[in-house]
Chains A and B, each alone.
Chain A
C-alpha cells in the first residue's frame, strides 16, 4: 500500500466517554463487520473487558475507507486502554500512530485521565482530532466543552467534531477528518526493516503473536526476523492484519500495522517495545522503545483450599503468558500457608487478575491487603526492597524507610476543591499547584502511593459526588516515618493482616481495623481477642464473643434428612473461611483494611 493512503490513529478517551462505541461505529461505517456480526464493544475481546466497559489490551484493526476524494484509504485503528493502571499501554499505542481522536463526553467534559493522555499524545507529535461524543444527551454542553478542548490543544473550537456514537451522527465526518488531518506515515519503504512491537498476545495454538507497526522497509511472510534489543531471531510464520479477525497477508510494508505469528512460547522472550528487523539485512539502529513497566502494588494471593496451590501456580503462569506486567513469586504465610506475592500495575489490574483467576480458573482465593514497594536502608547500610510487611526488618535495624510517591492530578468542579484538598491533606499529600481549566480546577498534589492504593479513589468519588477524576504518575521515593502495624488474633500475630502505616495514623488505623474485624469475624467456640499492636505494644483491642447457642432446634423422624442437609450447607459456608491458628476468619476480613474510609483519618 502506498503510504500516502495509510492513516494510523488511536482513540484517547476517559472511561465511559464512548471510545469503544465510537470504535464500533467506525467498524460499521467502513463495513469492516456487517450488521449481523455486530455486537457491543467488538474490540474488547475479554468478557471482563466487556462487562466492566474497559479496554485492557491495545489492539489494531485495519479497515478500508473510500473517502470524499474518491480514493481508497487504509485506516489502522489502534485501541487504547482508558485506565490509569494501563497508561503505559497508551504510550505504546501512541508510538504506532500519527494521529489521535480525543473523545470527550459532551456532558462531562475533560477528565484527568484524558488530560494526561492528551499531553502524552502532544509530546509524541500526534495530530489530535478532538471529538465531542454523546451530543444527543440532554445534559450535553458541546459549546462549553469545545472551548475547553480547543484551549487544551491550542486549536479553534470550530475544529472540534460533534458526534453521537450511539446514534451514528457525525461518524462519517470523523472518518473524513482522519483522512484529511492525520498525516500519512513517512517511513522509508526501501530502507532495511524496522518495525516497533507495540503489543503481544499469547495464543495457545500459535505461540506469541506480536503486533507491530512497520516504520521502514517491509516484512514478508516467512522472513527471518531479529529482535534488535534481545538479539533473538524468529520466523514470521504468518503475517497479517486484524479486520477485525486475523487476516493473513503476504507482506506488511512501511506505514502499515499488523501482526506477526512467531513460534515463541512465552511473551517474556519477545519484549514489547523491541524493534523487529530482518536477520539477513538488519537496520543500523533500533527504534526508541518503551520504558520498562514496574509493578506498583503488591498483595498475597492464597488458595482457600491448600490443595489448590499447584492450580494457582498454573493459572498465574498462564495469565502471565498474556500479561507481562504481572509478576509473582512464592510466598509462605504463617497464617495462610503457601501462596504467591503478586505485583500489579495498580488496584484495577489487581482486581482484574484476581477475578480472572477465580472466574476462568475456578479458584477460591484469599487476597491480602495490597501494599506498595518500600525501600529500606538498614543500619549496616544495605538497601532492600520490601514488598510485604513481613519483610520489614526490626525497627532497631532500620536506618530509613522510603516509600513511592506519585504526582496526582485531580480535575474537579470549583465547589469540590475543598473536599479534594481535604482528602489529599489527610492522605499525607503535599500541595504542588492548582489552576483553572474552563469550569474546573486542576489540583495537583504529591501523595504517597500507599495512600492512593488504600481507598483514595473511592473517597475522591464519594466526597465530590463522582465529579472528580484522578490521574497520577510516579515521582520517586521519599523517606517517611513508617511503622508496622500488627494484628493479633487470639494472642497470635497474623502476618497476613500486618500493614505498614505512617506513625501518626497507626493508632487510628489499628483501632478502626480491630473494630471492623470484630464485626467481620463470626463467633467461634471460644472468645477471640483481636488486638492491634505497634512495635509489640497493644494499642487497640476488641473481642469476638464465644458462641453461646448453636443447636438444631428440633430433629425428629420427619426432618433428619433436612437437618443433615442444613449441616452440609453450614459446611459450605465454612469453606469460605480460612483457618488462622484456631480461628476461622472469613475472606472479607483480609480486605477490611481497604475499607478504612474516613474513620481512620
Chain B
C-alpha cells in the first residue's frame, strides 16, 4: 500500500449552527477544545503509520479558527515530521472570527492557504443563511488575509439561496471579482435534510432559475480570468486547490476528528460524530467509534468516474477504467455532451459539464 499523502482534520466547533448546515459541528462547548486537540493528536499517533510525506493538509470545520492559532499551531507541529517543504496547508475560516493578528499567526504556524466562508456579500442573503459575518467583515478578512501573506486566498460562495435574485447574484459576482481572490468555490445551496432551512420547508428554486444562476457564475468568473476547473471551483493560474484535486483524483487520504472520513487502500471509514465520545475513546488509547466500508473494484471504478468527470481535464480511461455502458458514448457525443474521439480519454463538452450527472447516469451503473 502506497503511503498516504493527504490529511484532513475536522475542527467541529462553531458559535452557532447556520440555517443550511447539516455538517458535523459542535455548537458552543468551547471548553472542550483542548481535550479535542489532544484527542486529534492521539488519533494522529494511532493512524500516523499510514502517512508518507504529506503533500496537502486541510483543516476544515466547523469553524477551525475557533481553535485559535496556538492550537492549530500545535496540530501542525505534530504533523511537521511528515510535511513536505512545499506542502499546501489550508485552513477554513469564517470572516467574523479572524483579525489581522490571528491571520499572521496562522501564516507564522505554516498555513499557506485560507478559505473564507463568505457565502454572500448581500446582507439579506447572509441573514437568510443565518451567517454571522457582515459584508464589511468579509471584505476586511480578505484584506487582512492578503496582508498576512497567504500564498492562496479562496472564497466560498453560494447560489440558489432563498430570495436571491439574478441581480443579487450579479452584485455578488461583481464584488467577488473586486476582492480578487486566487480561488473561488461557488456552490449551489443544498437543502439538506436535517438543516433548519429544509425543516422550515424552504423550497429549492426551479430548475431553470438554478441553471441560469449556475451559468451566470461560471461565465462571470471565466470572464475575469478564473478557470472553471471543477464543477463548483474556479482558480487563477497556479491556484487550484491541491488537496481537493487529490479527492477528485481518487487519491487516498487520512481524516482525523469527529465525522471525518478516511480512504486508505480500498477501505473507507468514518468517525462517529460527538466530541465527548471521540475524546473519551482516544483518551483511553482506543480508536473512536467508526463505520466502515470496503470499496470493491467496481465501486472504486464508479467513484473514479464520478469524481474524474468533475474536472476540466479529460478523464483518462487508463486511470478510470472502462464505463459500464460504452455503447452510450456515441450518442452522448451526438448530443454534444462529449467531445473528441473516445479512445484513451473521455472529454465532457462545456454543455456536458453542466449536466455531468446525466452523462454519468448514461455511462455508469450505480446499483
Chain A residues close to B by CB (< 8 Å):
523-526, 545, 547-561, 563-564, 567-568, 570-571, 574, 582
Contacts and interface: CB of A to CB of B under 8 A. Distances in A.
B335 A525 contact: yes
Contacts of A523: 207
A560 B360 contact: no
Contacts of A564: 299, 302-303, 306, 366
Which of A552, A557, A564 has the most B CB atoms < 10 Å from its CB? A557
A558 B255 contact: yes
A563 B250 CA distance: 14
Given A556-B247, A564-B306, A550 B357 contact: yes
A550 B352 CA distance: 9
B361 A571 contact: yes
B187 interface: yes
B190 interface: yes
Contact of A570 (B189, B207, B293, B361): B361
A534 B360 CA distance: 38
B211 A557 contact: no
Interface string B225-263: 000000110000000000010011000010100011101
A545 B355 CA distance: 13
Contact of A553 (B187, B293, B331): B187
A574 B367 CA distance: 11
A568 B357 contact: no
A549 B214 contact: yes
B307 interface: yes
Interface string B330-367: 01100101000000000000000111111111101111
Interface residues of B, number: 50
A309 B266 CA distance: 39
Which of B211, B215, B293, B358 has the most A CB atoms < 10 Å from its CB? B358
A550 B337 contact: no
Contacts of B306: 552, 555, 560, 563-564, 567
14 contacts: A548-B208, A549-B355, A550-B357, A551-B231, A551-B353, A551-B357, A552-B306, A553-B189, A554-B185, A555-B231, A556-B244, A557-B247, A558-B270, A559-B261
B5 interface: no
A567 B358 CA distance: 10
- 6 closest A-B pairs by beta carbon, nearest first, are A548-B211, A549-B211, A567-B366, A550-B357, A550-B355, A568-B366
A568 B361 contact: no
Given A548-B208, A570-B366, A561 B293 contact: yes
Contact of B355 (A525, A555, A567): A525
A561 B185 CA distance: 21
Contacts, number: 110
Contact of A567 (B185, B293, B357): B357
Contacts of A548: 207-208, 211, 215, 354-355
Interface string B282-293: 000000000001
A236 to B, nearest CB: 54
A228 B187 CA distance: 79
A559 B261 CA distance: 8
A558 B261 contact: yes
Contact of A554 (B187, B259, B367): B187
A558 B232 CA distance: 16
B175 interface: no
Given A558-B270, A560-B307, A567-B357, 17 more contacts: A547-B358, A548-B207, A548-B354, A549-B354, A550-B357, A551-B214, A551-B357, A553-B188, A554-B232, A555-B231, A556-B247, A560-B261, A563-B306, A564-B299, A564-B366, A567-B360, A570-B366
Contacts of B231: 551-555
B307 A525 contact: no
Which of A552, A570, A582 has the most B CB atoms < 10 Å from its CB? A552
Interface of B: 8, 185, 187-190, 207-208, 210-211, 214-215, 231-232, 244, 247-248, 253, 255, 259-261, 263, 268, 270, 293, 299, 302-303, 306-307, 310, 331-332, 335, 337, 353-362, 364-367
Nearest to B156: A554
A560 B303 contact: yes
Contacts of A567: 306, 357, 360-361, 364, 366
A380 B213 CA distance: 63
B210 A549 contact: yes
A549 B356 CA distance: 8
Contacts of A571: 361, 365-367
A525 B334 CA distance: 11
Contacts of B253: 557
A560 B253 CA distance: 12
Contacts of A550: 354-358
B232 A568 contact: no
B88 to A, nearest CB: 15
Contacts of A547: 207, 355, 358
Nearest to B291: A561
A560 B263 contact: yes
B261 A561 contact: yes
A424 to B, nearest CB: 41
A561 to B, nearest CB: 6
Nearest to B253: A557
A555 B187 contact: no
Given A525-B355, A547-B355, A553 B337 contact: no
Contacts of B208: 545, 548
A214 B303 CA distance: 71
B307 A555 contact: yes
A571 B363 CA distance: 12
A188 B283 CA distance: 96
A558 B259 contact: yes
Contacts of A559: 261
A549 B359 CA distance: 11
B207 A549 contact: yes
B132 to A, nearest CB: 22
A305 to B, nearest CB: 12
B355 A560 contact: no
